[in-house]
Structure formats: structure tokens, C-alpha cells
A and B are shown apart, each in its own frame.
Chain A
Amino acid sequence: MSEQDKNLIFECSGVYKAFGGTQALQDVQLQVKPGSVHALLGENGAGKSTLMKCIIGMYKIDRGTMLYNGEPYMARSTSEALGKGISMIYQELNIEPFLSIADSIFLHREFVSGIFLSKKKQNEEAQRILDDFGFNKKATTLMGELTIAQCQMVEIIKAVSYQANIIIMDEPTSSLDNTETERLFKVIRELRAKGVAIIYISHRMEEIFEVCDEVSIFRDGRYVGYYEIGDVTQDQLISLMVGRSVESVFPKVDCPIGDEAIRVENLSGKGFSDISFSVRKGEIVGLTGLVGSGRSESMKALFGLDPLASGTIYLEGEEVKIPSPRAAIELGIGMVNEDRKNYGLCLHRSVLENISLPNLRASQPKLFLNKKREAKEGGDIAKMVTVKCRSLEDTVYSLSGGNQQKVVVGKWIMSQPKVLILDEPTRGVDVGAKAELHALMSKFAAEGMAIIMISSELPEIMGMSDRVLVYCEGKLIGEIMRADILSGKITQEDILQKEFGA
């Protein structure tokens, strides 16, 4: 073991990192050897990206040690990390559409002569790098003209071009097709042969087995294990990642299920195709799948926020068209968006105004607002979802995340919709508030509401749903009944395998 220790290019141990009250990393460790591809595995929010951002200098660790080539290591900024030979390909692409590929690759380290850019030299150098990669584009092409996958390739080329000793890849293949992925793997193998260490984050199990040498597993901000890839099976990895059983924090109350409330047939649009399912009154249907699997995309399109390419929607048996959220609301469909800040709230307006916004058309038919009625109805809702605030006039901005989420839920239940779509309804909500929101869902279902719930948290999906629909790569690939979950016939591992398309 001690011989191996000397061989490590990077190691960290006892790393802690908290954001506000949330402990993102707890006593985490990682050992990376040069000339190897090291996979990081874990569910969303397990702490993989946080640890990587600590290494690259975006976050500062609270506690713990990091060693790079055996020396204590700390980067205060990404440029410092780059200078020390650590580069990273980010999960979320930041594309500057008006920069050329060459400008993009050499951003912040431009070729200069005196105070002027030496464009010609830069373009030649960039072209040479692109050709080396077999990337069939001119270096002067604008980033805006490339597809997302091509932009991703440019990011990869850029990260590699730093001649780094360690390259961190956070979901590098998320938008690549098979041939591009193959090309990336070829590059990874070449880099490995040159002695570069690669830290590889991916949710795609098969990639990990194809290209990685070793794997560290994270769960809930903690390190749970390390394996050589040859010593472990996919099933073992999945159960290590999940590691929990369905807990009883989900007070799902079974209730009679009524007639069909909504049915969609062959919905297709950007990021999903051929989605068909129906939800009955009183039923909670859970939609699960990886981020980008089409679950949120299809529901946003159903609600009229994004365009629908094709497909038909039946509400209580009648065909309806939903070109805009306004139309959806008028038909009795509400949607709690996963993106609270962008699509959920007007942060600088009051709790009351936020709650009543989608309901004004229905509850305030007169020219002038009946503010008494508004305060009464809004106050009742705020009490029902137990928003904690000084007064209804408080700006939503002044509330905690969990309370903001309750306001979003509140604004959609006020009109008692026939169909309620909840996209990650408990994201960023503490345990207590979570249980309250789950209790509310059961209550609404019991009152005959049809509920579609999207969640990345499998325990939540399995605990709350009468039926689970599994999305994979834009398609619905499976349906699981509650009885099979309760009887233990279907486990979290089974669902996760489906999500990964295994």
C-alpha cells in the first residue's frame, strides 16, 4: 500500500464543505493515480461536482487535506488550478456564441505580440490542435454555429490543450452521440498512455466499465467506497450509490382512484418523443429518469411552456390544445416548475401577490381587485401550506428556500386544478417541510386531483407514487405499479437500472 501511496498524483482526505446549513461534503477522500481513469459515481447531489469544484478552485474546502504530487495543494481560482496543471470540462456549457473556436480555446491565454492579439498565430495553433483531434471544423468558425455536441467537443479539446496533468470531466458525454463518444474515449486512452490522470464523472454505467480503471463511490456527501473496475459489478455499484431503503417519511395515504383525468398520446418535442400515458383522478404518478431524460421537458411542453412538435392531449376524455401556460391554467392544469427562481416566483413581490398571480383571472372577475377576498383566499392557502412569514406583504425574497417552495406550491393549489404537475417539488426543502408537502400531496389526491410528480429522488418517487413511469433518453421505457414496490418485487436498484437504460 505504501508503495502505491507514493504513486498518487492527487489525493485528498477528511474533506468537509458546507453551504449555509447544508453539509455538501463530509469526511470525503479520493486517491488518483497518474495514467489512470478514475470514475466518480453517485446520485444527483451526492457531492461529486462539489468536490471537483473544490479541486479546481471554485470552492474553498472547510476542512481536510489535499495533496498534489505529494505536496499540499490549494487553488484559489480556476486559473490558479490551470496553472498548476489541473483542468476541467464542466457539465453546464458556457458558450460565447460570438467567439471563434480558436478564441474560445485560447480564452484568457491569448497569443499576443505587444498589446495586440496575434490572431493569425492563434488560429494556426488552434487549427493544428483541432486537426490532431480529427475535429472537422475551421478554427475561425464561430461557437454559435456549432451544435451543442460540437461545443462540448471544443470544451474537451480546450481542457486537453492545457497540457494538464489531471483532467476532470463532469458528464462529458451528456450531449455527445456514439461516434463522438468513441472519439472522446480514444482521446482519453491516449492521454492515459501519456500519464495524464482523468477524473471521470458520468451517470452512464456502461461508459464507466468501458473506459475507467477504478471507481470511487459517493452517497449523500460521503465517500462510501473504492474499487478497481475489474473487481466490481454494475449491481454492486448501484446498491452502493443508493444505499438506502424506502423510508417512512413519505406519508402516502392510499385513496380511491377515479376516472381518467388526463391522457397524452404520442407527445413529441425537443428532448422527448412518443410519450403516452394517462393519469386518473386521485392518482399520483411519479416520473423518474436521469436529468435530460425528457421527463421535465415533456411536462413543460404539456403545460404549454415549450412547443410541442406533435401529439394529442385529452382532458377528462376531451381533446384539448395547450399552446400556452395560460391555456393550461384555464383548462385546470397547474405546474410547479423545478426552476423556482426563473419560473416559479417574482422574488421581489409579496407572498400574497405571488400566490394570487395565476388565480387572478378566475378569482377576480371584476375590473378592480377585491383585496379583501384576495387576502382571505391567499391567507387560507398560505396557512394550508404552512408558509412561515411575518405577514403576507413580506417579499418572497426574504423567505427561506423551503418556504419559497411552499409559496410556489400554494399558488398552484389555490385554484384546485384537475391536474397538478409537480417538478422536483421538494428540491432544496428541509426534511420537515418535505414531509408537510408530501402530506399535502396525499390530501389533494384524496380530494380527486390527478398528480404528476417528477423527482430525481428515488425514495420520494417510490414512497409517493401509485404508479411510476421511467424515462430514458427521451422515451418512456417502463411502468411500475405501487403494489410491486410495496411487495419488494421492484427495488430502487431495478428502477435505477432502467434509468440507465440497462
Chain B
Amino acid sequence: MVLGMTTSKQVKARMLLGKYGIGIVLLFLMLIIGILEPSFRTGTNFLNVATQVSINGLISFGMCLVITTGGIDLSVGAQLALVSCVLGQLITKQGMNALLAIIIAVLVSTFLGFLNGILISRFHMFPFVVTLSSQLIIRGLAQIISGGQSIPLQSTFITDVYNMKLLGIPFPILYLTVATVAAYLILHWTKLGRYIFAVGGNENAAIASGVNHYWVKTTVYMISGLMAGLAGVIMAAKTGSAQSNIGVGYETDAIAACVIGGTSFAGGEATIPGVLMGIFIIGFIYNGMNLIGIQSYFQPMTKGMVIILAVLMDMFMKRKNA
């Protein structure tokens, strides 16, 4: 077909399937759990899952932008811990206004993301190495600030962040919705999004096309820091305490959600709807296994196998529709 003709519906449908074939995995998963466990099919349970995945959701969107530039951010789990400890220190120990404390805590995590970005873009260090190190530094900071103690967060303003509802919908679901829309707009509807794809797809070509790759990379790590910070606030609100040992391994779930959602580890390919589906697939695995009553020891194993299966299926479908 020569260009200028409209894309046929068939081609469009196949492209959609190639892009969002992971949705089939999600539906299949829900179907199986739904058959095995009737209580899975209730509205309350879906609200529960959506509430639970909000923390991983926020982190995953930041992670998605980072991976799409060809990088990785391993420091996000530690960022959760640091944010909760900063909140504990400022609110409980210093008696600071809770909103102000939240703003400061999130600024701290964003700034640390900025530092990651500077080291990676300006100094050409490997993202894996930089964020592996900053993960240790950030968790160390959290331990120093908290003295290794769990600090209770008594402010109702903080706990409301997690527990409040709007028209019966828990607040975390609203955060997740806002984050999804924001991430979608950034990646698919802004110049920054285009530059993220370009830098991840072919950095040299991006530079030769006038893209400021330093700025793009620094920005995505900043966004990842910001999202991890916001997730940290939700986490602190959920647990009602500041602890330096929370959020261990959270980067794994975020990376998993991205990969399941079709984010290419080589960079340059990702969709936000795909990542959202990945987030829910992870959520349903946890939730479904709990409901069915499978020992928690089996959860990581199942998650690992689902990731491999999902990626294999994604590759298979892409090849078929290429």
C-alpha cells in the first residue's frame, strides 16, 4: 500500500494486539482466579486490589520512563524508606506541619533522583551501577535518620492520605488514576515523551536530531525519584509508622510490571496502558494467591514464572504481528 491511504481496520487491530496483547494475559489470569475463588469476583475485592497496587503503580510509571531511555532505577525501594523516615523525623520528632513535611520529604526523594540522573547523564556512568550504589546510600540515610527505630506517625493528616474515601473510592485509587493519566500524557503526548523514546531507541540519532539527552535522562530519574517519593508517602500513611526497612525489593515489582507491560529493556519501546496492565497482573497474582489460600512462599516463584510467560507471549505475538 502506498502512503496516504488510511490505515485499514485490520492493520490497526493487529497493531493494537501487538501493543496490548498483554491484556489477554490479564483477562486470562482474572478468569482463572475468578473460577477458583468466587470472592475474587466481588467489587470490594477489586477496590482492594486497586488500592494495594497504587504504591507499586506510582513507582512503576517512574520506572517505565527510566527503562524507556535505556536505563534502570534500583534506588526506588530505598526511596520509600527514606521518605517515611524523613516524615517520622519531621512530624513526630520535630512536630512539623504534616503537609509541609510531606512536601519536604518528596523534594528530598526528587533531589536524590536528580543526583542519579546527573551521574548517569553527565558522567556517563552505568545506570545499574549508579542506582545500585545510591540504593545503599539512601537506605543508609534512612537508617541514620531513624536510628534504626520505628517511629509512629500519629498525625491523622498522614493516615488520612491512605484511609480517606471520595464517593466510596479509596484515595490511593485516585492517586493511581492521576498518576496513570499524567504518565500517559508525558510519554505519549509531550515532546519529552518523544525524546525519551528517541534517546532509548537510538541515543546517537537522538543527539544528531538535536535532542538534549542530558536533560532527558536527568529528567526521567527526577520523575522516578518524585514518583517513588509520593509512593513513600502513601506507604507511610498505610503503615502509620516510619521505618528504615520498608520497601525492600519494591524495585523488582516495579521492573516486573514494566516488563510484563511490554516495556523493552533495550529502551525505546513502552506504553503506559501496558504498564498499568502489568501493575494489575502483579496485584492479581498476590491477591489471587492469598484468596485461594496458597502459602506465601509460593508467591515469588509464581510471579517469576508469570513474568517469563508474559514476556514470551508478548514476543510471540509481536513477531506474529510484525
Q: Which residues A298-345 have CB closer than 8 A to chain B?
A: 303, 305, 324-326, 328-330, 335, 337, 342-345
Please measure, in the bound complex, the distance between the C-alpha atom of A23 and the C-alpha atom of B72, giving whole angstroms: 44
The answer on a CB contact under 8 Å between B11 and A325 is no
**Residues of B with C-beta under 8 A to A303:** 208
Q: Assuming the A-B contacts A390-B11, A391-B3, are A361 and B194 also in contact, with contact meaning beta carbons closer than 8 angstroms in the complex?
A: no
**Residues of A with C-beta under 8 A to B194:** 353, 356-357, 360, 369
Closest to B1 in A: A390
The answer on a CB contact under 8 Å between B208 and A347 is no
Q: Mark B195-236, 1 if CB is under 8 A from A, else 0.
A: 101100110111111111000000000000000000000000
* Interface membership of A411, Cβ < 8 A: yes
Please measure, in the bound complex, the distance between the C-alpha atom of A389 and the C-alpha atom of B204, giving whole angstroms: 25
Please measure, in the bound complex, the distance between the C-alpha atom of A330 and the C-alpha atom of B2, giving whole angstroms: 33
**Residues of B with C-beta under 8 A to A305:** 207-208
* Interface membership of B268, Cβ < 8 A: yes
Contact of B208 among A330, A343, A353 (CB under 8 A): A343
Please measure, in the bound complex, the distance between the C-alpha atom of A305 and the C-alpha atom of B211, giving whole angstroms: 12
The answer on a CB contact under 8 Å between B198 and A346 is yes
Distance in Å from the Cβ of B92 to the closest Cβ of chain A? 39
Q: State which of B26-34, B183-191, B253-261, B284-292 sits at the interface with chain A.
A: B183-191
Contact of A343 among B201, B205, B211 (CB under 8 A): B205
* Interface membership of A239, Cβ < 8 A: no
Please measure, in the bound complex, the distance between the C-alpha atom of A329 and the C-alpha atom of B208, giving whole angstroms: 9
Distance in Å from the Cβ of B8 to the closest Cβ of chain A? 9
Q: Assuming the A-B contacts A389-B3, A390-B11, are A347 and B201 also in contact, with contact meaning beta carbons closer than 8 angstroms in the complex?
A: yes
Q: Assuming the A-B contacts A347-B201, A357-B198, A360-B191, are A393 and B15 also in contact, with contact meaning beta carbons closer than 8 angstroms in the complex?
A: yes
**Residues of A with C-beta under 8 A to B195:** 360
* Interface membership of B314, Cβ < 8 A: no
Distance in Å from the Cβ of A341 to the closest Cβ of chain B? 8
Q: Which residues A363-419 have CB closer than 8 A to chain B?
A: 364, 367-369, 371, 379, 382-383, 387-393, 398, 411
**Residues of A with C-beta under 8 A to B202:** 342, 345-347
Most buried by A among B7, B191, B212, B322: B191
Contact of B209 among A348, A358, A388, A398 (CB under 8 A): A358
Closest to B191 in A: A360
Please measure, in the bound complex, the distance between the C-alpha atom of A348 and the C-alpha atom of B190, giving whole angstroms: 19
The answer on a CB contact under 8 Å between A393 and B197 is no
**Residues of B with C-beta under 8 A to A137:** none
**Residues of B with C-beta under 8 A to A367:** 190
Number of B residues, CB within 8 Å of A: 30
The answer on a CB contact under 8 Å between B3 and A357 is no
* Interface membership of B293, Cβ < 8 A: no
The answer on a CB contact under 8 Å between B2 and A357 is no
Please measure, in the bound complex, the distance between the C-alpha atom of A378 and the C-alpha atom of B198, giving whole angstroms: 17
Distance in Å from the Cβ of A413 to the closest Cβ of chain B? 13
The answer on a CB contact under 8 Å between A369 and B2 is no
Distance in Å from the Cβ of A299 to the closest Cβ of chain B? 12
* Interface membership of A349, Cβ < 8 A: yes
Q: Assuming the A-B contacts A349-B197, A353-B194, A369-B191, are A358 and B210 also in contact, with contact meaning beta carbons closer than 8 angstroms in the complex?
A: yes
**Residues of A with C-beta under 8 A to B206:** 346, 357
Distance in Å from the Cβ of A481 to the closest Cβ of chain B? 32
The answer on a CB contact under 8 Å between A325 and B207 is yes
**Residues of A with C-beta under 8 A to B11:** 390-391
**Residues of A with C-beta under 8 A to B212:** 324, 326
Please measure, in the bound complex, the distance between the C-alpha atom of A387 and the C-alpha atom of B5, giving whole angstroms: 13
* Interface membership of B38, Cβ < 8 A: no
* Interface membership of B269, Cβ < 8 A: yes
**Residues of A with C-beta under 8 A to B1:** 390-391
**Residues of A with C-beta under 8 A to B168:** none
The answer on a CB contact under 8 Å between A368 and B185 is yes
Please measure, in the bound complex, the distance between the C-alpha atom of A345 and the C-alpha atom of B4, giving whole angstroms: 21
Please measure, in the bound complex, the distance between the C-alpha atom of A346 and the C-alpha atom of B191, giving whole angstroms: 15
Please measure, in the bound complex, the distance between the C-alpha atom of A392 and the C-alpha atom of B1, giving whole angstroms: 11
Please measure, in the bound complex, the distance between the C-alpha atom of A361 and the C-alpha atom of B4, giving whole angstroms: 25
**Residues of A with C-beta under 8 A to B269:** 348
**Residues of B with C-beta under 8 A to A346:** 197-198, 201-202, 205-206, 268
Q: Assuming the A-B contacts A344-B205, A357-B198, A361-B191, are A379 and B268 also in contact, with contact meaning beta carbons closer than 8 angstroms in the complex?
A: no
Closest to A342 in B: B204
Distance in Å from the Cβ of B216 to the closest Cβ of chain A? 12
Distance in Å from the Cβ of A258 to the closest Cβ of chain B? 26
Distance in Å from the Cβ of A194 to the closest Cβ of chain B? 46
Distance in Å from the Cβ of B274 to the closest Cβ of chain A? 15
**Residues of A with C-beta under 8 A to B208:** 303, 305, 325, 335, 337, 343-344
Closest to B193 in A: A369
Please measure, in the bound complex, the distance between the C-alpha atom of A138 and the C-alpha atom of B201, giving whole angstroms: 42
Please measure, in the bound complex, the distance between the C-alpha atom of A347 and the C-alpha atom of B11, giving whole angstroms: 20
The answer on a CB contact under 8 Å between B268 and A348 is yes
**Residues of B with C-beta under 8 A to A364:** 191
Distance in Å from the Cβ of A326 to the closest Cβ of chain B? 4
Most buried by A among B190, B194, B198, B205: B205
Distance in Å from the Cβ of B269 to the closest Cβ of chain A? 6
Closest to B185 in A: A368
The answer on a CB contact under 8 Å between B205 and A388 is no
Contact of A357 among B4, B189, B209, B322 (CB under 8 A): B209
The answer on a CB contact under 8 Å between A388 and B2 is yes
Please measure, in the bound complex, the distance between the C-alpha atom of A369 and the C-alpha atom of B197, giving whole angstroms: 15
Most buried by A among B194, B197, B209: B209
Please measure, in the bound complex, the distance between the C-alpha atom of A393 and the C-alpha atom of B13, giving whole angstroms: 13
The answer on a CB contact under 8 Å between B211 and A368 is no
Distance in Å from the Cβ of B210 to the closest Cβ of chain A? 4
Q: Which residues A86-145 have CB closer than 8 A to chain B?
A: none
**Residues of B with C-beta under 8 A to A393:** 7, 15
Distance in Å from the Cβ of B107 to the closest Cβ of chain A? 23
Please measure, in the bound complex, the distance between the C-alpha atom of A388 and the C-alpha atom of B3, giving whole angstroms: 6
Please measure, in the bound complex, the distance between the C-alpha atom of A347 and the C-alpha atom of B208, giving whole angstroms: 14
**Residues of B with C-beta under 8 A to A389:** 3
Please measure, in the bound complex, the distance between the C-alpha atom of A349 and the C-alpha atom of B191, giving whole angstroms: 14
**Residues of B with C-beta under 8 A to A411:** 209
- Further contacts, 18 of them, CB under 8 A, given A343-B204, A368-B189, A393-B15: A305-B207, A324-B210, A342-B204, A343-B205, A344-B208, A346-B201, A346-B202, A347-B201, A348-B201, A348-B268, A353-B194, A357-B194, A360-B195, A367-B190, A371-B189, A379-B3, A379-B4, A391-B11
18 example contacts (A-B, Cβ-Cβ < 8 A) are as follows A303-B208, A324-B212, A326-B210, A326-B212, A330-B210, A343-B204, A344-B205, A346-B198, A348-B264, A349-B201, A361-B210, A367-B190, A368-B189, A379-B4, A383-B4, A390-B3, A390-B11, A391-B7
Q: Rank and list the top 3 A-B pairs by shortest CB-CB distance, nearest first.
A: A346-B201, A326-B210, A358-B209
A residues sitting closer than 8 Å to B (CB atoms) are 303, 305, 324-326, 328-330, 335, 337, 342-349, 353, 356-358, 360-361, 364, 367-369, 371, 379, 382-383, 387-393, 398, 411
